[in-house]
């Protein structure tokens, strides 16, 4: 790969292996093949400026988030952008519209000198080059003989690029009057408005809208009469477009797409920074390693666990590393979040205690109580602001959602399920869960696409899914559901005990006063502090109940119990041997199980995102 200039956005990301545990920013490419020779230099300069601005505006020139350019390497715009990107240390992924040998024929017939050699050079630098499967009705013979059938394969690669990129860079003359199948105009239309019902494989693909995203338009003249008088120019994009009120109003859809991208890329860079932090420390690296090992934990079958690890190392390394990092980070932020919440509620209880002492007869005690109350307020607010600034709750939820989704993706690939995990993720989600879906599509793209060829399901891989995935999840959710029920029950018991003691104590004081018992003189300290303590016990009970309710202990127990029931039913349906059920039926069970698990996890994350961390009062 061409050496990256110092300070370039991806200078520290030199090989595909460096992508493991990171989420990329993917720039898709579409554009004309027939560029004017006199415009090539200026186009290269403008494309370079685009990558520089993306790095400066959205990555803060940080090297933790790799940039990947997604280009089919056709002559003209595709090769130009790939060439410029590689010179800046950007990684290249090259989806091919058809089998490689057939695609090469397009360059043999090219009128552009050196296009075939440039294609081979760039292809050799690509980290992945998935071939689009032939669509229904297409064969090698038909696409070789019929240009219209061949164009449909170019449409497929264009859809792939739009589906998996975060930003679409178009070198286009802007003529949308008669879009051709697979042409630049059609690809730009999908990026800006999504797939129409008449063009989508299913209604779900149109409703999803995941294809819609920001695009950058570099006005590019072509070698034809329609481009007469057209000059190279870059239309407003990104933060420039959002700052330009008139342009944003005229291009409302584009401005909204950039707003959504801005929110998404912040989550991506946040994840990558956390990933870099955790793998850089000894304790964090050990935690990540433990998460890798726990993924294929099989307590009663070490040989099967070893086979699962070996298969994952060979066939799903990107997914495995993303899972391990996301799981380690989710556990880390869950621990921090729960610890901070407990501290906030403890401070709240201490504030109530200090406030109760403010009215004490002893003036010195009352003064110290007032000062303590004010100090506790400051401490509580500072802890609250610190927790918000570190996004403890959001990170815990987002990383857990990503972790669980990548788990499903890994076992789908073990089972040989050639479906898109991103497409299976629930649609119409918030920006945060939309980020999870986008991240899944990014990993899928770097892994060679959803239709990556796999060997037929055999008995070993079936047992990995049936024993390690299904049975393992039954054990996990059974254990977690019991733990949450136990904690919730303990909170209820302590709350009930506090109310009981307060009630009995108050009754005893009332009886003592009724019968004129002189207990204040014989036990002055008890007489002074007993009413305060009895008044604080209901506050303690309320704090315990509020703490458990805000953490959703009971709700989480119910969610874990639902997932336990789901995986237990799958275990009942799946026999011990693949021969007893057949590969097709087994895959169908794994597909539906994965979909339901994704839906349940996404719903749980959405619900708990509306429970923001706040101090107890």
Number of CB atoms found within 10 A of residue 507's CB: 10
Task: For residue 261, tell me if it sits in a domain.
Answer: no
Q: Which of 186, 216, 234 is the endpoint of a domain? A: 234
Residue 336 and residue 222 share a domain: no
What pLDDT does residue 590 have? 95
N-terminal to C-terminal alpha carbon distance within the chain: 58
pLDDT greater at residue 545 or residue 77:
77
Task: For residue 270, tell me if it sits in a domain.
Answer: no
What pLDDT does residue 343 have? 85
Cβ neighbours for 280, distance < 8 A, ≥ 6 positions apart: none
Number of compact structural domains in the chain: 2
Task: For residue 248, tell me if it sits in a domain.
Answer: no
Residue 407 and residue 507 share a domain: yes
Residue 296 and residue 219 share a domain: no
Task: For residue 347, tell me if it sits in a domain.
Answer: yes
Q: Which of 189, 209, 234 is the endpoint of a domain? A: 234
Task: For residue 514, tell me if it sits in a domain.
Answer: yes
Number of CB atoms found within 10 A of residue 397's CB: 25
Residue 512 and residue 411 share a domain: yes
What pLDDT does residue 10 have? 40
Match 């945060």 to its residue by tokens: 432
Q: Order the strands of the 25-31 sheet from edge to edge.
A: 91-93, 67-70, 25-31, 167-172, 215-219, 233-234
Residue 576 phi/psi, 5° resolution?
A: -75, -25
Q: Which of these, 334, 333, 339, lies nearest to 277 by C-alpha position?
A: 333
What pLDDT does residue 497 have? 77
Number of CB atoms found within 10 A of residue 353's CB: 19
pLDDT at 263 over 50: yes
Structural tokens at position 49: 């400026």
Task: For residue 251, tell me if it sits in a domain.
Answer: no
Average pLDDT over residues 275-298: 93
Residue 294 sits in which domain range? 290-609
pTM of the model: 0.85
What pLDDT does residue 560 have? 80
Residue 300 and residue 219 share a domain: no
Average pLDDT over residues 140-157: 92
Residue 164 and residue 92 share a domain: yes
What are the tens digits of pLDDT across the range 301-334?
Answer: 889 999 999 998 888 889 999 999 999 999 999 8
SS (H, E, C) 189-248: HHHHHCCCCCCCCCHHHHHHCCCCCCEEEEECCECCHHHCCCCCEECCCHHHHHHCHHHH
Average pLDDT over residues 329-345: 87
pLDDT band for position 614 (50/70/90)?
Answer: low
pLDDT at 495 over 80: no
Residue 514 and residue 367 share a domain: yes
Residue 307 and residue 203 share a domain: no
Between the alpha carbon of residue 556 and those of residues 74, 344, 398, 559, the distances in Å are 51, 21, 16, 5
Contacts 24+ apart (CB under 8 A), 145-149: 148/181
Structure letter (DSSP) for residue 416: T
Match 């989420």 to its residue by tokens: 23
Asked whether 132 and 157 are in contact (CB, 8 A), the reply is yes
């Amino acid at each position: 790969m061409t050496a990256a200039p110092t300070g370039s956005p991806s200078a520290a990301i030199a090989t595909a292996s460096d992508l493991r545990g990171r989420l990329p920013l993917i720039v898709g490419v579409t554009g004309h093949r027939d560029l004017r020779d006199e415009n090539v230099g200026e186009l290269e300069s403008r494309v370079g400026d685009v990558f520089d601005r993306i790095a400066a505006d959205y990555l803060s020139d940080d090297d933790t988030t790799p940039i990947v350019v997604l280009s089919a390497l056709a002559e003209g715009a595709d090769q130009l952008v790939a060439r410029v990107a590689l010179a800046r240390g950007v990684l290249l992924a090259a989806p091919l519209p058809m089998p490689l040998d057939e695609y090469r024929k397009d360059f043999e017939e090219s009128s552009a000198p050196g296009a075939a050699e440039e294609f081979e050079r760039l292809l050799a630098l690509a980290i992945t080059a998935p071939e689009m499967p032939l669509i229904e009705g297409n064969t090698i013979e038909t696409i070789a003989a019929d240009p219209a059938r061949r164009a449909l394969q170019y449409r497929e690669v264009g859809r792939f690029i739009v589906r998996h990129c975060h930003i679409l860079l178009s070198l286009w003359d802007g003529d949308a009057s008669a879009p051709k199948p697979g042409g630049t105009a059609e690809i730009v239309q999908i990026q800006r408005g999504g797939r129409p019902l008449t063009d989508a494989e299913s209604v779900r693909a149109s409703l999803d809208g995941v294809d819609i995203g920001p695009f950058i338009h570099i006005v590019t003249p072509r070698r034809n009469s329609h481009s007469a008088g057209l000059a190279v120019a870059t239309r407003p994009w990104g933060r420039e477009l959002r700052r330009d009120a008139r342009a944003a109003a005229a291009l409302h859809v584009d401005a909204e797409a950039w707003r959504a991208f801005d929110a998404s890329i912040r989550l991506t860079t946040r994840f990558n920074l956390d990933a870099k932090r955790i793998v850089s420390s000894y304790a964090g690296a050990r935690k990540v390693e433990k998460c890798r090992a726990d993924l294929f934990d099989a307590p009663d079958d070490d040989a099967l666990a070893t086979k699962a690890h070996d298969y994952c190392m060979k066939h799903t390394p990107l997914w495995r590393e993303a899972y391990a990092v996301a799981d380690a980070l989710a556990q880390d932020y869950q621990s921090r979040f729960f610890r901070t919440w407990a501290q906030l509620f403890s401070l709240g209880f201490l504030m109530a205690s200090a406030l109760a002492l403010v009215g004490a007869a002893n003036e010195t005690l009352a003064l110290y109580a007032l000062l303590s109350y004010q100090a506790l307020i400051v401490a509580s607010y500072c802890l609250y602001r610190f927790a918000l600034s570190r996004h403890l709750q959001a990170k815990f939820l987002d990383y857990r959602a990503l972790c669980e989704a990548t788990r499903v993706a890994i076992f789908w690939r073990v089972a040989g399920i050639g479906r898109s995990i991103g497409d299976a993720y629930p649609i119409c989600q918030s920006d945060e869960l939309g980020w999870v879906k986008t991240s899944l599509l990014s990993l899928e793209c770097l892994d060679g696409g959803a239709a990556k060829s796999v060997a037929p399901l055999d008995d070993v891989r079936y047992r990995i899914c049936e024993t390690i995935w299904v049975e393992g999840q039954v054990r996990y959710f059974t254990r977690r559901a019991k733990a949450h029920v136990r904690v919730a029950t303990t909170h209820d018991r302590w709350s009930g005990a506090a109310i009981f003691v307060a009630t009995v104590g108050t009754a005893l004081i009332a009886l003592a006063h009724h019968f004129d018992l002189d207990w204040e003189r014989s036990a002055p300290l008890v007489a002074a502090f007993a009413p305060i303590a009895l008044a604080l016990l209901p506050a303690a009970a309320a704090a315990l109940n509020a703490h458990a309710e805000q953490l959703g202990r009971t709700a989480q127990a119910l969610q874990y119990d639902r997932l336990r029931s789901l995986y237990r039913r799958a275990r009942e349906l799946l026999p011990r041997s693949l021969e007893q059920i057949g590969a097709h039926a087994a895959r169908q069970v794994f597909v539906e199980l994965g979909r339901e698990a994704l839906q349940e996890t996404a719903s749980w994350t959405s619900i708990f995102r509306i429970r923001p961390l706040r101090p107890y009062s």
